[in-house]
Amino acid sequence: MPLASRLLALLRQRRGAFVSGEEFSSLLGVSRTAVWKHIHQLAAAGYRIEVVPHLGYQLRETPDRLLPDEILSGLTTKLLGRPSVCFEETTSTNDRALALAVQGAAEGTIVAAENQTQGRGRIRRAWHSKAGANLLFSLILKPGWTIEQAPLLTLLAAAAVTRAIRSHTGLPAMIKWPNDVLIRGGKVAGILTEMQTQAERILFVVCGIGVNVNAAPAGNLKTPAVSLAGLLGKPLLRLPLLRSILQDFEELYLEAKKHGQDSILRHWEAYSCMNSAQVRIDLPGEACLEGTALGVDETGALLVRLDGGTIRRVISGEVSLILAEAKQ
C-alpha cells in the first residue's frame, strides 16, 4: 500500500485525536520528514488535516472526490471497486478500462474520473459532464457469458443504478429501455456497455456509467438532462452514492451469476417505465415505429405491439415515450 494511503488509514483510525509526527514515523517506519511531505500531499488532494505543534496531526474532513482511498473507505463489496483507478481528467473512463482489461486487469476494477474530454454515450453520442460535479466511471466485468447474453448486463447495470438512486435519494427513478435512468421524464444517468469477445463468448465487458449528481449538462439529448441535486434542491455527496451503486450492482451481478439471468429481468421490470407505455422507436436505417411497449423478452430485447397489431422484437434503437396528451 502506498505510504500516503497507510498514513491516511492511521489518521482515520485515530479520528478525533492528534497523532504526533514521531508516532507516525515509528508506526510507518519512515522519517518525520517523509510523514510531513505526505501530510502535505494529502492536504493538496483535498483532505483537511489540522496540524498543532507538539500535538501532531488530526484528520478533520475527507474530500468528496473520486480518489481510490475514498472510494474504498466504507465500501462493503467483495468484487466491485477493487481495485480502483482514478483520474483527474481522462479521455473516457471506458477507453481506460478497455485498455486495462486488455492488459489483464482484474474483474471488479473501477476506473473513475473527475472529468472526461471525450466522454461518449450510446449511438455515437457525446456524454458531457461538468468537471468534479458528477459520477463518471467504468467497471470491468468478466461474467463468462455468451455474446447473446451481453445485453442483459446493460439491463442489470440500469437496475442497479436505479435501485441505488431510489434508496439513496428517495427520488422515483425509472428505466427507459434499454438503460436510460429517468426521473420525472428527465435523464439522470446513462450506461454504455462495450466488450471484447472470442469464439461466441465474452472475454470482458466494460460497463461505463455516468450519473448527473450535481450538474445536468445542457445538450442535444432528446430527453432533457436533470441532476439529482437539481431535483432535491441541494448538493449531494457523490461518494456515498457511488458506494451504493457498487453494492447494488454487485448484489444483482452475483445473484445473476449464481441463480441465472432471469433475476435481472425481474429487477429491471420492477423499475421499468415501459410497461404498456406508448412509444416511438427510431431504428438504425429504418422508418420509425410506433406502438405499445409490452416489456422485454429473455434476451433483453424490447417487445412492442405495433399500431397494426403485430408484435415486433427490438434489439437496438432510440425509444421515446409518447405522452398521452401529446398523442391526442
Cβ proximity to ligand BTN: between 35 and 189 the closer is 189
Binding segment (CB under 6 A) for ligand BTN, from list 122-130, 144-152, 265-273, 301-309: 122-130
Cβ proximity to ligand BTN: between 6 and 125 the closer is 125
Cβ proximity to ligand BTN: between 93 and 261 the closer is 93
CB 183 within 8 A of CB 205: no
Cβ proximity to ligand BTN: between 55 and 126 the closer is 126
Tell me the C-alpha distance between 267 and 261, whole Å.
10
Q: How far is the CB of 91 from ligand BTN (least distance, A)?
A: 8
In the chain, at which residue ranges do the beta strands (DSSP E only) sit?
48-52, 56-61, 84-90, 110-116, 135-141, 174-176, 180-183, 186-198, 201-211, 278-282, 289-296, 302-306, 311-314, 318-321
- Which grid coordinates are listed for 158? 440500469
Q: How far is the CB of 136 from ligand BTN (least distance, A)?
A: 4
* Touching ligand BTN, residues 268-297 (CB under 6 A): none
121 binds ligand BTN (CB under 6 A): yes
Alpha helices in 45-149 (DSSP H): 68-72, 93-102
* Touching ligand BTN, residues 151-190 (CB under 6 A): 180, 190
Give the strand pairing for 318-321 and 311-314: unpaired
Q: How far is the CB of 191 from ligand BTN (least distance, A)?
A: 6
Cβ proximity to ligand BTN: between 35 and 111 the closer is 111
Using the rule CB under 6 A, which residue among 24, 47, 57, 127 binds ligand BTN? 127
Cβ proximity to ligand BTN: between 25 and 132 the closer is 132
Using the rule CB under 6 A, which residue among 105, 136, 139, 245 binds ligand BTN? 136
195 binds ligand BTN (CB under 6 A): no
122 binds ligand BTN (CB under 6 A): yes
Give the residues across from 86 on adjacent strands.
112
Q: Going by C-beta distance under 8 Å and a sequence separation of 6 or more, which residues neighbour residue 223?
A: 176, 180, 182, 185, 186, 187, 320
Cβ proximity to ligand BTN: between 62 and 272 the closer is 272
Q: How far is the CB of 93 from ligand BTN (least distance, A)?
A: 4
**Residue 133: CA atoms inside 13 Å, Cβ hemisphere, count?**
17
Q: How far is the CB of 153 from ligand BTN (least distance, A)?
A: 14
Residue showing the smallest CB distance to ligand BTN in the complex: 190
Cβ proximity to ligand BTN: between 18 and 87 the closer is 87
Amino acid in position 278:
Q
* Residue 161: closest CA among 128, 194, 133, 189: 189
Q: How far is the CB of 174 from ligand BTN (least distance, A)?
A: 15
CB 161 within 8 A of CB 193: no
90 binds ligand BTN (CB under 6 A): no
305 binds ligand BTN (CB under 6 A): no
324: how many CB neighbours lie within 10 A of its CB?
Answer: 8
* Residue 156: closest CA among 275, 58, 252: 252
What is the number of H-type helices and E-type strands within the chain?
10, 14
Under the rule (CB under 6 A), what is the footprint of ligand BTN?
Answer: 92-94, 116, 119-122, 125, 127, 136-138, 180, 190-192, 208-210
